[in-house]
Amino acid sequence: MVKTDVMIEIKDLHVRYGRREVLRGVTLDVYRNEVLGIIGPSQSGKTTLLKVINRTIDSVPGAVVSGTVKVDGEDIRQIKDVYALRRKIGMVAPLPVGLPMTIFDNVAFAPRMAGIRDRRQLEKRVESCLRQAALWDEVKDRLDTLGTKLSGGQQQRLTIARALSHDPEILCLDEFSIAIDPVTTMRIEDVLKELRSRMTIILVTNLVQQARRLADRIAFLFNGQLEEIGSTEVIFSDSPRSRKTYEYVNGVFG
């Protein structure tokens, strides 16, 4: 089925860090409840694109952004409550960054900030998010343990649980598997397959086969520009629109 319900609309996006232009006129749509894989060589602008979408780019010294990004039809540059935008967009960083608090409090932090105080309601939210992140069975008997005491793979799944705790409509993942083992990576991929029916997922990855396994569509960024965007089937076929796309996904360069 062809998706036409646009969740994120990006038009003529340019980003500069001082004199260095990182994104150059990127235009693309992200559809509701799809998994969009974003691939490309290092320094192609993939992480910067995520930073623009949830406005963490605002805190980057020297960053200059032009163009338009709309989420659910609303221009994000016009949103006064940036924290409301970030509650809508869950982010998972390349390296797991646990808050210096218990497993329970890591996941309960955002709901508490949103005003939830009832203990039973918090317990229900924490369990639900940990289950969605495939971590509940491993930590349910030690929720009062520091999250930083977990293994790297467990901490990454805790990061996903925390990202889910404010019930986002969009989940952005930036190289989530860079520091974890292949078995844990596959477990998280299974989690994402479960989540894809309930939210829009943007997956930045240098692992082209991971994008192939998970994404409905793929955007290929090269040297700050959108070289090609299309269905995963087309991008990995023998005849994508761009020769650079073919060479990249087939390992000619990376």
What's the pLDDT at 1?
39
Residue with the two structure tokens 């090609």? 228
pTM, to two decimals: 0.91
CA distance 124 to 245: 45
Confidence (pLDDT) at 2: 46
Domain boundaries, the chain: 34-50+86-249
**Helix (H/G/I), strand (E/B), else coil: 91:** strand
Contacts of 128 (CB under 8 A, 6+ apart): none
> CA torsion sign, 224 to 229 to 233 to 238?
negative
In sign, the C-alpha dihedral spanning 140, 142, 113, 132 is: negative
Q: Which of 131, 204, 123 is nearest to 164 (CA)?
A: 131
CA separation for the pair 28, 17 (Å, rounded): 21
Per-residue pLDDT of the chain (254 residues; tens, 9 = 90+): 345 699 999 999 999 999 999 999 999 999 999 999 999 999 999 999 999 999 999 999 999 999 999 999 999 999 999 988 998 999 998 877 767 899 999 999 999 988 999 999 999 999 999 998 989 999 999 999 999 999 888 998 999 999 999 889 999 999 988 878 888 889 889 989 989 889 999 999 999 999 999 999 999 999 999 999 999 999 999 999 999 999 999 999 87
Give residues with Cβ within 8 angstroms of 176, minimum separation 6. 92, 93, 94, 156, 160, 188, 203, 205
pLDDT attached to residue 62: 92
Q: What is the CATH code for 34-50+86-249?
A: 3.40.50.300
Identify the pLDDT of residue 4.
63
Query: Based on the number of CB atoms within 10 Å of its own CB, is 78 exposed (0-12), middle (13-18) or buried (19 or more)?
Result: exposed
d(CA 250, CA 252): 6
